């Protein structure tokens, strides 16, 4: 006996082969593939085997709904139709096209990766998963998705849809939202993968999760794999997937200043390695405990930019939810009083006319009040 207690020479069975006969595994694969061919949505990235286009789509789809991604995908490819065009572009132009999609590290990493592909691989996206995964922003999911769909490599994808389908199909007790469960879901997906057409099979499982095995309203009656689904067979679909309770999301009150000097306002650029890195924004930060929003605004302008300002009026209060925290920002119109800009935090700044704001990429939280700002009634000139 080995350390694990298994008799020597007998291979340890995985979750799939431990619960199903080979015949059933083959039957599941066939049923899924048949269903996929018939029901798959005609999405633009499914019309191509160009690894660059597939890579673009998978990066966008990683954190964003299909319906939102389609327009962004098309605009992005119109501006950057191939990897060399993307590599040559300014990061700011890339971020401008990403504006509103969120998770901007995806765009920054993709831009860096495009430059590496051009410089180190002669512009050819590596078809070797070990080389591809070494590129910035390419994690396990992107590697498996692009390598399987574009290059036919037998790597199984694991995303939220796949985990939900597997959890129900095999009654997996491990919580889908715990990092420790990932290797087990990965191994199960790999075992189920159809090695003959891994790209289509991966997409079939994800599509089943998106269209049939939905989070709260699965259509088990119309599901192509319901004959093998343990949760359905045991009438326990509602029990799976098991999830850990999430910790409450912290909330941060913030103060933001729209500082006018003549008819121009100051905007600042966030450091590239920070959250929302490379984007422009109106200067702002978290408030201190017991500090009023107005006082915080004056302090922040002084600390971040060395400017003395006078708060004139409240422009808006905006709320925004990020993945790990929420903010409520009090936004004030301020008048510049004195001081030359000395940056402490931001990597760049500009004094711009309101009509120029649309040229810069801003985070969504800023867009929530920029529309207010550009309404005609706003004061735009203060010589005090």
Q: Does 232 bind ligand SF4 (CB under 6 A)?
A: yes
Distance, CA of 312 to CA of 309 (rounded, Å)? 9
31 interacts with ligand SF4 by CB under 6 A: no
Q: Which stretch binds ligand SF4 (CB under 6 A): 39-47, 59-67, 228-236, 368-376?
A: 228-236
Residue 269 belongs to what H/E stretch? strand 264-269
Identified catalytic residue from 21, 58, 281, 356: 58
Q: Cβ distance 149 to 218 under 8 Å? A: no
- Is 36 a residue that touches ligand SF4 (CB under 6 A)? no
Close Cβ partners of 94 (under 8 Å, ≥ 6 residues apart): 80, 86, 107, 108, 110, 111
Q: What are the DSSP calls for 47-76, one per residue?
A: S---HHHHHHHHHHHTTS-HHHHHHHHHHH
Residues 6+ away with beta carbon under 8 Å from 75: 97
Q: Is 372 a catalytic residue?
A: no
In the shown chain, the binding pattern of residues 201 to 220 toward ligand SF4, with x for contact by CB under 6 A and - for none, equals -----------xx----x-x
Distance separating alpha carbons of residues 16 and 22, to the nearest angstrom: 9
**69 contributes a contact to ligand SF4 by CB under 6 A:** no
What b-and-e string marks burial along 190-202, b requiring 16 or more CB atoms within 10 Å of the CB? Answer: bbbbbeebbbbbb
Q: Applying CB under 6 A, does 354 fall inside the site for ligand SF4? A: no
33 part of the interface to ligand SF4, by CB under 6 A: no
Total residues binding ligand SF4 (CB under 6 A): 14
**Contacting ligand SF4 (CB under 6 A), which of 87, 200, 225, 256?**
225
172 binds ligand SF4 (CB under 6 A): no
* The binder of ligand SF4 chosen from 148, 226, 304, 366 (CB under 6 A): 226
Q: Is 229 in the site for ligand SF4 (CB under 6 A)?
A: yes
- Token output for 254: 């913030």
Looking at the annotation, which residues are catalytic? 58
- Please give the residue ranges that form the binding site for ligand SF4 (CB under 6 A): 165, 168-169, 212-213, 218, 220, 223, 225-226, 229, 231-232, 237
């Amino acid at each position: 006996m080995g350390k694990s207690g298994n008799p020597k020479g007998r291979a340890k069975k995985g979750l799939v082969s431990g619960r199903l006969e080979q015949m059933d595994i083959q039957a599941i694969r066939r049923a899924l593939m048949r269903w996929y061919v018939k029901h798959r949505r005609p999405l633009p990235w499914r019309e191509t085997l160009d690894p660059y286009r597939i890579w673009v789509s998978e990066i966008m789809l990683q954190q964003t709904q299909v319906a939102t991604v389609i327009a962004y995908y098309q605009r992005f490819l119109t501006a950057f139709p191939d990897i060399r065009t993307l590599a040559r572009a300014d990061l700011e132009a890339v971020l401008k096209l990403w504006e509103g999609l969120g998770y901007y590290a995806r765009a920054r990493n993709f831009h860096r990766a495009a430059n590496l592909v051009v410089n180190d691989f002669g512009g050819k996206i590596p078809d070797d998963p070990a080389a591809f995964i070494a590129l910035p922003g390419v994690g396990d999911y992107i590697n498996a998705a692009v390598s399987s769909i574009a290059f036919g490599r037998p790597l199984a994808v694991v995303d939220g849809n796949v985990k939900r389908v597997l959890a129900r199909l095999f009654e997996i007790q491990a919580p889908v939202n715990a990092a420790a469960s990932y290797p087990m879901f990965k191994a199960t997906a790999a075992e189920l993968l159809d090695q003959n057409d891994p790209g289509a099979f991966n997409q079939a499982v994800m599509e089943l999760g998106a269209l049939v095995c939905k989070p709260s309203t699965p259509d088990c009656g119309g599901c192509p794999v319901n004959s093998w689904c343990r949760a359905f067979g045991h009438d326990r679909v509602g029990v799976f997937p098991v999830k850990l309770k999430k910790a409450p999301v912290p909330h941060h009150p913030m103060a933001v200043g729209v500082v006018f000097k003549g008819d121009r306002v100051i905007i600042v650029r966030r450091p590239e390695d920070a959250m929302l890195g490379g984007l422009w924004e109106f200067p702002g930060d978290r408030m201190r405990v017991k500090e009023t929003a107005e006082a915080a605004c004056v302090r922040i302008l002084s600390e971040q930019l060395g400017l003395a300002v006078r708060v004139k009026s409240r422009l808006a209060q905006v709320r925004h939810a990020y993945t790990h925290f929420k903010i409520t920002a009090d936004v004030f119109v301020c008048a510049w009083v004195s001081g030359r800009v000395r940056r402490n935090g931001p990597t760049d700044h500009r004094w711009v006319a309101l009509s120029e704001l649309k040229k810069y990429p801003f985070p969504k939280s800023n867009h929530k009040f920029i529309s207010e700002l550009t309404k005609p009634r706003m004061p735009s000139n203060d010589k005090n």
